[in-house]
Structure 1
Amino acid sequence: MNDFDGIAPEEANLVRKVRERVIDTIGKNMDLYGITSSIGHLYGYMYFSNDPMTLDDLSQSMGMSKTSMSTGVRTLLDLKMIDKVWGKGSRKDLYEVTPDWHQNFTDFFSIKWRKAVEANMNALSKSLKEIEAIRTEQAAGNEKLSELLAIDEAKIVEALNYYKWLLRFIETLESGRIYDIVPKE
């Protein structure tokens, strides 16, 4: 079914123009978060779809290749911004937008930040072990090296404390406690 069935062409064009402006804005905003604007446009297009869509539907409607649609859909699935849904009588995968923008924001940043925090904390922890090894094996009697290691160690511990705080922030997002601090409108 077409959203515009039963609507005069002039009015349908006005609505399309409004939607296209919003879709373009979504595309530009997604670009700010490291997501290509074309994937942002895909999300925006799906946002205005009132029914789940297949890759073929998306490809045809947006005038993009099925491969591009598949990549975009996979990205949006990974970010939990869309869901794969079941459709009675359909053998193809159907996708629809997760319409809760608050949850989309939470999922997007939680996924990205958690991945970065874990990688950074692993690198910092490894560096602390290496500093300890250098201290044990080579710094004995070398006051200058010991001072340098102590300074570096303090900086790394400070960075680790930041990442521990960031993990608590991520948990505040994921648990929904953020809305106790900054309520939804």
Structure 2
Amino acid sequence: MPEEKQVKDWEKYEETIEKFIQVIAKNMNLYGMTSSVGRLYGTLYFADEPMTLDDMRDALEMSKTSMSTGVRALSDMKMVEPTFKKGFRKDLYQSEEDWYKSFTSLFGNRWRKHTESNIEEANEAIDELVKIYHKTEDPELRNKINSDIERLRYAKNYYDWLMKFIRVIESGEIFQYIPKNEDNI
């Protein structure tokens, strides 16, 4: 009887961990990732040892190519890192245990890219509107252009503020204002 109870306990444990991995997978869309990449991260996070692509493929029943693509995406986001084991020839990977670090890196990378693009687009739109303004003799169009240039300048001010916010996140300064929760199990 005790052996049967141990089997049930392990089954309940695995079910609980799998349920949480599904939560991670579901939430990966917030980071622009697919749920399969989220499952990969969750599997690595709960692994006791670093895993090879073959280990991941076996655990998730996905292709080695999918595992490689997922690991690369997670690595780019600093959520997974390669690790080495003396005498072991295959590439090993482990999850980044510091979710705060992963978030700040991911947030910074994603938001910086989009914000810089938005600033560039706003500048181009302003330049183009100025050209049209100088070419046109239509007073109504000139008024509309002036109004829209003001809107674009407002947008640029917002994007400049957002870049400051991104720097606060990336630098870790955010933790001076909102400290990390440091409770350990």
When normalised by structure 2's length, the TM-score is 0.90
Q: Which residue number in structure 2 is paired with residue 80 of structure 1?
A: 78
Flag structure 1 segments of 5+ consecutive residues without an equivalent. 1-7
RMSD: 1.4
Superimposed CA distance per residue, residues 4-46 of structure 1 (whole angstroms, 9 cap, x where no aligned partner): xxxx533322221121111011111113433111111110010
Could you tell me how far apart the structure 2 residues matched to 1:132 and 1:90 are? Answer: 62
* Residues 78 and 106 in structure 2, CA contact (< 8 A), matched pair in contact too: yes
Runs of 4+ residues over 4 Å off in structure 1? none
Q: Which amino acid aligns with 1:169?
A: F
2:168 corresponds, among 166, 172, 177, to 172
- Which letter maps to 2:166? I
The aligned amino acid for 1:153 is: I
Q: Secondary structure at the match of 1:20?
A: helix
**Percent identity of paired positions between Structure 1 and Structure 2:** 42
Q: Deviation digits for residues 106-139 of structure 1, max 9, x if unmatched?
A: 1111111011011111111111111222222x13
Cross-structure match for 1:35: 33
Count the aligned residue pairs.
176
**2:48 maps to which of 47, 50, 57:** 50
CA distance in 2, matches of 1:20, 1:158: 47
Give structure 2 stretches of 5+ with no counterpart. 1-5
Tell me whether 1:162 sits opposite 2:165 in the alignment.
Answer: no
SS in 1 for 2:94: strand
